Chain A
C-alpha cells in the first residue's frame, strides 16, 4: 500500500487542506496521525478511507488507483479494504450488536448464515461474545466502541481506520480500547489512528504530525 501525493482544495477560495502530502503505509503499520484542529487530519482520513477523492495527486491502495474511481467503485473499496471506527461510534440504534456487525457483509453479498457466523466470531474477538443480542442503548460506551471495532474487522480490511476512537470515552475505557487495537496490530492488521491525545498516540509505533496541511514530522517510536 502506497500513498504518494495528495493535494486538496475547498471553500470559495482555494484552501489547501492538504498540501503536497507524501505518505506511505506498509503492511502491519500501526500509525497515529496527529495535529491541531484545522491541520487537515479529517481531510486526510477521508481520503485514506476513500470517503473522498483528492483534487490532485495519486492515491494507490493495494495497487489500485483510488483517485480516478467513481462512487460505486469507491463504495466497493470501502467495503473490502477499509474498516472504520468512529469517534461517535455510529451504530444503528435499532439493530442489535449482531446485525450492526453484519452490515458490511450485506453489502459484500455474503449469505445470511455466513454473515451470522462471522459476526459472532468478530464479537467474540473483542470480548462481547455474550452480548450479541443487545441493542446499542443497552451497552456502555466502551462496549459500543468494541462492537464498532468488530464491525470494522468483519470484512478483513487492508486498513482499520479509527477517527478519534477514544474521543467520547473516559480514560480507563480508552486504554481498554487501545489494548484491543494493540492486539489487532499484533495479529497483523494495519491500523491508522487519528487522535489529538498524546497518551493515545503513544500506543502506536509511528506518529505523523500534520500542521496547515503539511507533514510536520513522521517518526517511528
Chain B
C-alpha cells in the first residue's frame, strides 16, 4: 500500500514535469490549444461579471427604496402592468396614516414604527424664469417623510412640523432639479413655479442615482401635503409609507399592517382586501426571472465557445499521442502501467486548460478593470466565486477533452508502439 502510494506520487510528479516540458517545447501549439479555453473563460467570466453587475445595481436600487419600508397602495407591484385588476378599487386616503399612527402608538408590541402619507404625480412640470423641466416627480407628504426614505440633504433643510401642518408653499428638490433649473447658482431660497403656484426651495438632496435605471430619485420635488393639494388637487395617487421596527421581521409587519388596514377600511372577514401592501422584494421577484434568463442564455452561448475549445484540445492531444507513440511504447516497456500513461496525458491537457483558464481570468479581470475606468456607471462586478468557478471549469474541460486521447494512449500495445515509425 505504502509503496503503491509512493509510486503514484513519483509517477505524478514525473507526469507534471513532463507536461510542463511538453508545453514549453511546443509553445506555439500549446498557446493555440489554450486559446480555445482562454476565449471560453473570458466569455464566461465576462458573462458572470455582467450578471453580478446587474445584481449589484439592482441591490443598490432596492436599498434606495429602503429595506424597512413597506407601502400601502391601490395596486400591487408584483403584477405591474395589469392595471385593470385594480381599476375598481376605491382610492386610499391620506388620513389613514394618522389613523395608523394612533393605533401603533397605543400598541407597544406593534411591529410598525410610523406611517407617513404621500400624494404624488409623475407628470409635474417645474419652471424657473425661462427654464423648464418636464416629467418631474412631485410628491406631497409630512415632515416625517425622511424617516421612511433614503437620501441626505446637500444643502438647506427639510420642512418643519409647523410648515407641514400649515401647508406652507415650501419644497425640497432633488439634485437634477436643483442643477437643471439653477446651473450656476444656489437653488436655496428661489421660488419655482409649479402649475400656477409658486413654491420656495428650502433644501436640496444629494445625488442618488436612478432606480433600476428607470426612475430617478434626483427628479423629485417634495412639499407639504397641503401645498401639494393646492397645486395639483386632491385626486392624486396616494401611498401610505410605513416604516417597520425590525428589518428582519417584514412578514409579520406586513401581516399586522394588512389587519390594521382592513380594520380602518372596514373590510369584513372573508372578503378580499381592496388595497395592496408592497415592499421592495416584489421588484426582486419580477426581475429575477429576467436576470436568470440572461444568465441561462449567456451560459449556453459561452458554453458553446468552451466546447469548441475542448474539441480543439482533444484534437491536439490525439495528435500528441500519435506523435509520441514510441515514447509511450518505451515507457510501457520500462514498466509504466496503463494508469500512468493515462494520467500523464490527462495531466498535460488539464495543465494546458488551467493555464488557459488563468490567462483568460487575467484577461477578463483587466477588461473589467478597464470598463470600470471608462464607464463607472456600467454595472460590472468580479467575484471570488467566479474565479473559483472558471478554474474548476478549466480543469473539467481539460479532463473532458483529454480523456479520450489519454485512454487511447494507455491502451496502446507496447510491442507495436516500439516499432512505430
Contacts and interface: CB of A to CB of B under 8 A. Distances in A.
Interface of A: 46, 49, 51-52, 71-72, 75-76, 78-80, 84, 86, 90, 92, 94, 103-104, 106-112, 151, 155
Interface stretch (B105-113, B136-144, B204-212, B336-344): B336-344
Interface of B: 3-4, 6-8, 10-11, 14, 21, 25, 326-327, 330-340, 413-415, 418
Contacts of A72: 337-339
Contact of A111 (B10, B21, B335, B413): B10
A109 B7 contact: yes
A78 B333 contact: yes
A46 B415 contact: yes
A98 B333 CA distance: 18
B10 A49 contact: no
A90 B8 CA distance: 24
B335 A79 contact: yes
B415 A103 contact: no
A133 B25 CA distance: 19
Given A106-B10, A109-B3, A109-B4, A151 B334 contact: yes
B6 A109 contact: yes
A67 to B, nearest CB: 15
Contact of B337 (A49, A51, A107, A112): A107
B18 to A, nearest CB: 9
28 contacts: A51-B332, A52-B414, A52-B415, A71-B337, A72-B337, A75-B335, A75-B337, A76-B335, A78-B332, A78-B334, A78-B335, A84-B334, A86-B418, A90-B330, A90-B333, A103-B334, A104-B334, A106-B10, A106-B14, A107-B335, A107-B336, A108-B7, A109-B3, A109-B6, A109-B7, A111-B6, A111-B10, A112-B10
Contacts of B337: 71-72, 75-76, 107
Contacts of B338: 71-72, 75
Residue of A80, A104, A108, A109 with highest tally of chain B CB at under 10 A: A109
B14 to A, nearest CB: 5
Given A84-B334, A108-B335, A90 B418 contact: yes
A51 B414 contact: yes
B334 A94 contact: no
B11 A107 contact: yes
B28 to A, nearest CB: 17
A180 B21 CA distance: 33
A21 to B, nearest CB: 17
Residue of B4, B14, B337 with highest tally of chain A CB at under 10 A: B337
Residue of B8, B10, B11 with highest tally of chain A CB at under 10 A: B10
B333 A107 contact: no
Nearest to A163: B418
Contacts of B25: 94
B333 A51 contact: yes
B333 A103 contact: no
Contact of A107 (B7, B21, B418): B7
Contacts of B7: 107-109
Given A51-B418, A90-B418, A94-B25, A75 B3 contact: no
A106 B418 contact: no
A221 B404 CA distance: 52
